[in-house]
Chains A and B, each alone.
Chain A
Amino acid sequence: MVERYWEALKGVKDPEIPVLNIVEMGMVLGVEAEGEKVRVRFRPTFSGCPAIRLIREEIEKALREAGAKEVEVVEARAPWSTEDMAEEARRKLLGYGVAPPLPLPLAGKDPPCPRCGSQEVVLKNTFGATLCKMLYQCAACGEVFEAFKTV
């Protein structure tokens, strides 16, 4: 039964990066089921994330559709890290044109251009259209791209 709920949660997207679901983002910490009652522990990526309320609603909706009668969503305070993202999520980000986060020890480094792979990139802005991204430009191909912050 719990597997079924995990599957349902894979249908909940991160509204700011709609190619990723909250499971592969590493946002879901645990799912417990007791009869028709389901308890989900999840954590936001960034604490000021305006999508939290929407994600909570989507979680509840998905679980009800999967058969849960009662849903409890608990927000954990444990820090989220880009290390918690699944490999698949990184690939999807790249395909979406967003440079995926680097391994944690390389946090201060610049990511290669997601279009041409060049390392010659220039940071344009430590902040982007959403809290989790930065803005870069590739010096080789000219592409302006977003990079997921490594945290």
Chain B
Amino acid sequence: MIEAYLKDALVARLTAWADDEVVLAQRLSEWVGHAPILEEDIAIANLAQDELGHAKVWLELRQELDGSDPDRLVYFRDPLEFQNAVLVELPKGDWAFTMVRQYLFDAYENLWLKEATRSTYAPLAEAASRILKEERFHLKHSSLWVERLGQGTEESHRRAQEALETLFPYVRQLFQPLPGDEALVEARVVPDLKALEAPYLEEVTAHLVRSGLRPPEGGYVPKSRQEHTEYLWSLLAEMQSVARWDPEAKAW
């Protein structure tokens, strides 16, 4: 059981994690049928499906706390209510952009999920160990792609470096605490994300440099998860269109 004073904070935290997964899954799914080779088309569909599964896990944890309906939250909230980080809503770009973003996100997930397996809130600890098993395959896949792109041809290197210039500052938003995080961290319900930022930067910088890429310095970091780009609007418009057009539509 979670103490009453932590409930709202945990609901907000779970929503932020779930929204990252939902929005990223939607961006990944845009590649289905368009990936550079068949194997990658299959792989990216798997990635999208996994992220969506993880969103479901987080939203079901939330449902146990506040009775909210996961489908309602995903399909009927407006863009300004979404709590995802800007990193995941940026348009899919080229293959390098998609894979560099995936790597940056996967490395973050692997890091914090490992910590979250020790959560004092048992349902969260269980969910984290379940998701971590699956995320390891993601990281293996995307880190290889970063290496391949970084050390491949002049063009692949240039595209990967350009992607990194745009994406890298946004990564730091993932480590920003939400207003209620402090109490959750103190009760050891969720890991201290702020404390994970330095080990994260060290780990990804090492891999990027090994792959011949240079992480840029500085750049704009969004101030809160209420901040979004115009890209989220069109993404949600497409993702939510069927549900909003026919709310009674049944799963097939």
Mark A residues whose CB is within 8 Å of B: 46-50, 53, 77-81, 124-129, 131, 135, 149, 151
Contacts and interface: CB of A to CB of B under 8 A. Distances in A.
Contacts of A46: 50, 53, 134
B126 A78 contact: yes
B18 interface: no
Interface in B45-101: 45-47, 49-54, 56-57
8 contacts: A46-B53, A47-B54, A48-B49, A53-B251, A77-B126, A81-B133, A131-B53, A149-B137
A135 B52 CA distance: 22
B126 A127 contact: no
A126 B140 contact: yes
By Cβ-Cβ distance, the 8 closest A-B pairs, closest first, are: A48-B53, A127-B46, A47-B53, A79-B130, A127-B43, A125-B39, A48-B49, A151-B133
Contacts of B131: 47
Contacts of B247: none
A56 B46 CA distance: 22
Contacts of B137: 126-127, 149
A80 B133 CA distance: 9
A5 B230 CA distance: 54
B42 A47 contact: no
B129 interface: yes
A49 B53 contact: yes
A48 B42 contact: no
A129 B50 contact: no
A48 B130 contact: no
Nearest to A80: B130
A50 B52 CA distance: 10
Q: Which of A77, A124, A135 has the most CB of B within 10 A?
A: A77
A48 B56 CA distance: 8
A105 B143 CA distance: 22
Contact of B42 (A49, A50, A127): A127
